[in-house]
Amino acid sequence: MQPPAVDAGQAPGVMKSLAERIDPRHCAVLVIDMQNDFCARGGYVERIVKKDPTPCALVAPQIERLAGAARAAGVPVTWLRADYRREKLPDSMRGKLAEAGIEEACCVPGTWGYQWYGVSPGADEAVVDKHTYDAFAGTDLESRLRRGNRRTLVFAGVQTNVCVEAALRHAQALGFYCVVASDCVASHTPAAHDGTLNLVRFLLGDVTTLAEIQRLWREPGATGR
């Protein structure tokens, strides 16, 4: 005999509203790749990729406000940092770079390009270095989040359509609820940025604003402490 069907909307633990999903008691913020090579004039994106980094630079103050709101609500903030030394990259990334004739490495430790742009971690906040677009691949990010009983991830940083999307897709497949703060992510390619946000709205999670997140975290009883 087959077991009775379970309505996924009624399954224990399923969270059906944004307010439930971003409750500070089980939420975390991920800030991705806010580094000079991606965001600053004279960085890798401008010099090598030949794209305008201005949209990425402009979200730094918003991300600082998001991080501040998270700290006030007791929500942990984890910072993802690219280390794209050529010998650290998977063959798939090295192959695309070679095909494009790109020899210079991006976000090399010890260089200006590797340093934070406009925002930086608090003294007690975790920093996870990554060697591919997906922040979960080859890192201990998932285990860190599981140890902290985090169920929902709020995404911020750059590029929306590359590293943010890669991490979000992996997180969603692992069962994390995914929320994008739309005014805390950016891309050097606006159409691709919009495409990722539309995809998340349609299928992968929630797209909301910093103001709405701040409002929900200020609700009575909304604290992760």
Q: And the tokens for 147?
A: 């140890």
| Each residue's pLDDT tens digit, 141-186 | 999 999 999 999 999 999 999 999 999 999 999 999 999 999 999 9
In angstroms, the CA 115 to CA 118 distance is 10
Q: And the tokens for 156?
A: 């911020």
Q: And the tokens for 13?
A: 């633990």
> Do 79 and 126 contact (CB within 8 A), yes or no?
yes
pTM: predicted TM-score of the whole model, two decimal places? 0.92
**Residue 102: what pLDDT?**
96
